[in-house]
Amino acid sequence: RNLTVIDAYQIQIVRDGALPPLIALMSNPEDDVAEQAVTTIRNLSANPSLDVKLVRDGVVPPLVHLLRSPNPSVQEQAIVAIRNLSINPQNKVRIVKEGGLIPIVGLLRSVNLKVQESAVITLRNLSTDPENEEAIVRESALVPLFALLRSPHEIIYEHAAIVLRHLSINAQNKADMVREGGLPYFIALLRSSTNEQAQEHAAVLMQNLSMDSTNQVKIAREGGLPPLIALLRSQDENIQEQACGTIWSLSVNADNRPRIVQEGGLPSLITLLRHANEKIQELAVLAIRNISTTDENKIKIVRLGGLPPLIGILRSTNMRVVEQAAGTLWSLSVSEENQIKIVQEDGLQLLVSLLRSPNENVVEQAAGCIRNLSMNDENDIKVVREGGLPPLIYLLGYPDPNIQEHAVVTLRNLSVNSDNKVMIVGEGALPPLISLLRSPYERIQEHAVVTLRNLSLNAENEVMIVQEGGLPPLVDLMLTQNERLQEHAVVAIRNLSVNEQNEVDIVAEGALAPIINLLRVPNEDLQEHAAGALANLSSNPMNKIRIVNDGALPPLIALLRSPDELVVEQAVMCMRNLSASPENRARIVAEGALPRLTSLLRSPVDKIQEAAAGAIRNLSGENEDSVAGEGGIALLIALLRSTSESTQEQAASALWSLSTNERNQGKIVSEGGIAPLKDCLRSPNKKVQEQCVGIIRNLSMNEANEIPMMEEGVLPPLIELLRSLNERIQEHAAVALRNLSMHPRCKLQMVQDGVMEPLVGLMRSPLQIIQEHTVVCIRNLSMALDNVITIMENDALPPLIGMLRHHDPKIQEHAAVAIRNLSVHDECEAKVVAEGALPPLIYLLRHEIKTVQEQAVGALRNLSVIPENKNRISKEGGIPPLILLLKSNVDKIQELAAFSIHNLSAGSIVNQHNIVRDGGLVPLISLLSSRNESTVEQAIGALRNITLVDENKLKLVAEGGLLPVLTLLRFDREAIQEHATGTVWNLSTHPENELKIVQEGALPPLIKLLRSRNVLIARQACGALRNISVNEEAREDIVDEGGLSAVILLLKSTDAGTLEHASVLLRNLSVPANNKDKIAKEGGLAACVDLLSSKHELVLPHVAGVLRNLTVIDAYQIQIVRDGALPPLIALMSNPEDDVAEQAVTTIRNLSANPSLDVKLVRDGVVPPLVHLLRSPNPSVQEQA
């Protein structure tokens, strides 16, 4: 025993054969022998070169036996020998197999510290062999080992910690150690501040245990985090590494992540990101990466300063660390707030550079992070600015589908930005993107098609995508069974279809059929975009027909009933476009679209209402009654009050179309359309204004609507629109007012509402059509006499006169009518002439268009009424063209010309001469045979005036006018009879005409007219007969024609003129002897006697003359006296008028010749006046007296 303490002798003793007997002696019952033998073996076991041989030669069994020796010294030597043998790897399993574990574990509880120490060291050595890990635990070593962790002796608890550290490598042991209650011991050891080695072993132990998912929660729950976090600040790198590794393991469990943060782990972990030890850096990054999975922690990591060191790690040459840092940034970049900060901390540039790394894992993490960063609008331009596009586009062709996905998603995000759309395409992204549409991975296909969908929103890209061959794969994607791919593909097609050329190419690529099929898929998003694509494509004229022919109508119409408003919106917009083609309209209606389109006018969505109204507008041309029958008019009217100007516009456009139908005009009014239309006239939207004033224009064509429109207050806004800067609006307003101005009440109201000022302004419009409507409106307004003064006060006359010289005959005509109407007013006749209207009006008398002539001559007819205008018209040369118009083949023109000549000839001797001088006589005579009674009336009236001139009396007869004039005496129309009798009266004043008048058969009609109820006719007929009766031949003819009774009847007339003519006529008729008896028989005596007392002085000489003539016959003398003639005759002898006195005294003379009367005459007082008359200066009177 003593010699074996020297190494050299150890080998020699064994070589000399000492082992077998020594092994045998260890089993000697004598303690001292056994002790010496085991001590010798202990010394030999200390030699590494002998430990295998000792075990192989059988030293282990007796040593194991001695571990149970009651002799502490023997126990000690035995455990030390086993401890030494257990160092050699070859012996570790052998010792266990020889049953050494149980007694060794038992010695862990020895009171002998040396034995305890050797036992724990032995277990430490044995535990390094994986085959022993579970066996040690199975032999119940854990509890005593746990207990040793609390030993006051560092060497003991340190070795115990090492044993447990080794055991914790085994997966089964991890769970057993925790289940057996080891955690409190391990955690307590972590807190040891005196033995760093023990802390390190405890930390490794905890790291191993933490690899078990069950233990992760328990470690945290048992309070393991605080000491572990504290160790992160250790000065020992190994301890830091182990603690950091444990925290990383614990952070794998989601429940632990907030606890690590709550316990203050983040600051220390972030600090370790700057550690020089790359392993520690890596573990810290791994832990932070796990912790960063919660939204709250993402923010905390950044706020605690985690970004700069993480970004700094991206510069490392250690790709494992770089990978984890990029991965952590990827996790952090999920937060929108962090997305901005990562870029602000210059992380983007480094991440972009990593996209070119040869390390695939690094590329994936960097690409994933940039993918998230690109989701932020503030970063999308920066990614491009930092040169991200080329590597991202390159990665579209990367063999790893995950990296492909990150790249294409990033481009998808970047492509949302308008500026990026062009740059992405400019960098050559289209070919690989289009290629990815055929990727075997649907998720990549989806991102690629969404990217193309975004890019297709740019006008330049629309063309490039098609040129690069994007259409065929997009069409193929619509044919897949994946609805998401179908949706994105049809959206891309929808975007591309905005381009006119693409509309053609898309259809050429066969896209219609799959798009139409998608309308039938029970997916509302698909339906919406398919309908939207068709809506775009349907803007092409050829496509409109093709879409319908390919069967789109039934599914489109079905979609009009979709509960999804976006689907309905696109479907109805497509229907609106399709209905713009005349070829489609009948089919659309036949397929039953109209009722549904009409019902959509009730939609709460403005765009749906707008498109439905647009479709109805298109269809209404051929289906006016159907639209009205479906109740469309009321709904369209309601839309006029929409808050959407576009909806108002479409509704107004539809109503405008419908309002061309007369039946619909009434319905629009009856459905309450006037009020909203009136409001829309003041819309700030000029299109709405134009359409609504167009509707009002159409409605105003229906007479029944005029008063309702006026009463609803349409006039003021219409008048306001005359001032619009939009000439089309001006035109519609002018036409509406033109139509409304036809109604008597509207005429007055319009002027009261101030229409004249803007109307007069529009007369100077550069647009002829507006000029025309304006002048027609004024023409209509001028028909109301109450408006005339206001029209004149608003200075309408000068422009009206100017329009008489317009190059358009219609405008000339309307202006002439307006002036014609104005000239009716007494206060305007002179002003019209004073403003210079005569020259252009007279010029228009020779216009080639008859209607213009008619209105001009009508105006002159009115103007020629007042005296001061008559001579002006003549001086301006108006008579010759008027005379020419007497020969017009238009009755109305003849009439108006005759009327004008009639007026001019009235009271103007100059004009009476000029009319005949300028050749007016013959045409006037000719017009006496006109079928137009008014013309005849004016012609005979003119002739009546003309024949006041003596020389004209003969000219008329010479021109053959007598017979036509006399013919008119038999006319039924009193006005004609009046002028005819006046003309005959005029003609009869010339002696040369007296007999001719009789010879032409004038007596019968003249005599008949003596009985006319018209006083003037009777008077003039009587006057003519009076003149004719001057001729002796005519006197008997008048009586023979039965004129006496009528003449005598007229002696009772109350009209002084008639009375005078009748008394003269009777006086003349009483001259022939043959007539005297006839006069008496007809009652002429009594009538004349009655008139002797007349107040009409002019009658007295003539009735007295009649009596004078009749009293030459005796029989009548007595009758005259009997009838009471004496008193008035006696009185008349004193009349101051010589003719009266002479006729009276001559009658008395005749009576005095009758002897039977002389006494009566004297008795009645005849002598005094006779005596008086003897002194008369009138010889004839003296003689008769």
Question: How do residues 860-891 score in pLDDT, each as one tens digit?
Answer: 999 999 898 999 999 999 999 999 999 999 99
Q: Do 944 and 982 contact (CB within 8 A), yes or no?
A: yes
Q: Do 597 and 636 contact (CB within 8 A), yes or no?
A: no
CA–CA separation, 529 and 630 (whole Å):
29
Name the residue among 620, 554, 603, 543 with its Cα closest to residue 578: 543
Q: Please count the CA atoms within 13 angstroms of the CA of 977 that sit on its side-chain side.
A: 22
CA–CA separation, 138 and 132 (whole Å):
10
Q: Do 901 and 924 contact (CB within 8 A), yes or no?
A: yes
Q: Do 346 and 386 contact (CB within 8 A), yes or no?
A: no
When the candidates are 1.25.10.10, 3.40.718.10, 3.10.20.90, 3.40.50.10860, the CATH number that belongs to 1-140 is 1.25.10.10
Provide the pLDDT for residue 306: 96
Task: Write out 981-993 in H/E/C secondary structure.
Answer: HHHHHHHHCCHHH
Residue 253 sits at φ, ψ, to 5 deg, of -80, 125
At 590, the pLDDT band (50, 70, 90 cuts) reads very high
Provide the pLDDT for residue 630: 86
Give the number of other Cβ atoms within 10 Å of residue 954's Cβ: 15
Q: Is 275 helix (H, G, I), strand (E, B) or coil?
A: coil
Give the number of other Cβ atoms within 10 Å of residue 1176's Cβ: 18
C-alpha triplet 1132, 1036, 988: angle, nearest 5°: 80
Q: Do 709 and 700 contact (CB within 8 A), yes or no?
A: yes
Tell me: pLDDT of 197 over 90: no
* pLDDT tens string 982-995: 999 999 999 999 99
Q: Do 135 and 125 contact (CB within 8 A), yes or no?
A: no
806, two tokens: 């317009």
For domain 592-605+624-691, the CATH architecture is: Alpha Horseshoe (1.25)
Region 706-729: what's the mean pLDDT?
A: 95
* pLDDT tens string 1032-1056: 889 999 999 999 999 999 999 999 9
763, two tokens: 């007369």
246, two tokens: 């444990």
**What's the N-to-C CA distance of the chain in angstroms?**
223
CA–CA separation, 945 and 870 (whole Å):
13
Tell me: pLDDT of 855 over 80: yes
Region 160-180: what's the mean pLDDT?
A: 92
CA–CA separation, 519 and 529 (whole Å):
9
CA–CA separation, 580 and 600 (whole Å):
18
Place of tokens 């245990």: 209
Residue 1000 sits at φ, ψ, to 5 deg, of -85, 5
Provide the pLDDT for residue 1115: 86
CA–CA separation, 866 and 513 (whole Å):
83
* pLDDT tens string 1094-1151: 888 899 999 999 999 999 998 899 999 999 999 999 999 999 998 999 999 999 999 9
For domain 471-591, the CATH architecture is: Alpha Horseshoe (1.25)
* The CA-based dihedral angle spanning residues 704, 709, 711, 715, taken in that order and rounded to the nearest 10 degrees: -140
* pLDDT tens string 730-757: 999 999 999 999 999 999 999 999 999 9
CA–CA separation, 394 and 400 (whole Å):
12
* pLDDT tens string 657-696: 999 988 899 999 999 999 999 999 999 999 999 999 999 9
CA–CA separation, 695 and 670 (whole Å):
14
703 burial via Cβ count (<10 Å: 0-12, 13-18, 19+): exposed
Provide the pLDDT for residue 193: 63
Provide the pLDDT for residue 947: 96
Percent of the chain predicted with pLDDT > 90: 92
CA–CA separation, 968 and 1009 (whole Å):
11
* pLDDT tens string 228-255: 999 999 999 999 999 999 999 999 999 9
Provide the pLDDT for residue 191: 86
User: Could you say which DSSP state residue 846 is in?
Assistant: T
Cα–Cα distance list, 512 to 449, 537, 550, 974 (Å) = 19, 9, 8, 84
Q: Do 651 and 639 contact (CB within 8 A), yes or no?
A: yes
* pLDDT tens string 889-931: 999 999 999 999 999 999 999 999 999 999 999 999 999 999 9
Q: Do 83 and 121 contact (CB within 8 A), yes or no?
A: yes
Give the number of other Cβ atoms within 10 Å of residue 357's Cβ: 18
Provide the pLDDT for residue 199: 87
Provide the pLDDT for residue 1150: 94
At 1055, which amino acid appears?
D
Provide the pLDDT for residue 380: 87
At 83, the pLDDT band (50, 70, 90 cuts) reads very high
Name the residue among 852, 846, 866, 855 with its Cα closest to residue 819: 855
User: Could you say which DSSP state residue 671 is in?
Assistant: T
When the candidates are 3.50.50.60, 1.20.1250.20, 1.25.10.10, 3.40.50.700, the CATH number that belongs to 962-1082 is 1.25.10.10
CA–CA separation, 519 and 538 (whole Å):
15
Location of each CATH 1.25.10.10 domain in the chain? 1-140, 152-291, 306-458, 471-591, 592-605+624-691, 962-1082
List of residues 6+ apart from 1184 with CB closer than 8 A = 1142, 1145, 1146, 1148, 1149, 1173
Give the number of other Cβ atoms within 10 Å of residue 817's Cβ: 25
At 871, which amino acid appears?
N
Q: Do 864 and 882 contact (CB within 8 A), yes or no?
A: no
Q: Do 829 and 869 contact (CB within 8 A), yes or no?
A: yes
Give the number of other Cβ atoms within 10 Å of residue 398's Cβ: 18
At 35, the pLDDT band (50, 70, 90 cuts) reads very high
Helices (H), ranges, 46-98: 51-56, 60-66, 72-85, 89-97
When the candidates are 3.40.50.300, 3.40.50.2300, 1.10.3720.10, 1.25.10.10, the CATH number that belongs to 306-458 is 1.25.10.10
CA–CA separation, 506 and 546 (whole Å):
12
pTM for this prediction? 0.61
Q: Do 862 and 825 contact (CB within 8 A), yes or no?
A: no
Report the mean per-residue pLDDT for the chain: 94
- Region of 17 (left: φ > 0; alpha: ψ -120 to 50; beta: rest) is left
When the candidates are 1.20.1250.20, 3.40.50.2300, 3.40.640.10, 1.25.10.10, the CATH number that belongs to 152-291 is 1.25.10.10
* pLDDT tens string 61-70: 999 999 999 9
Instruction: Give per-residue burial for 200-212: e unless 16+ CB within 10 Å, then b.
Output: bbbbbbbbbbbbb
Provide the pLDDT for residue 531: 97
638, two tokens: 């309601």
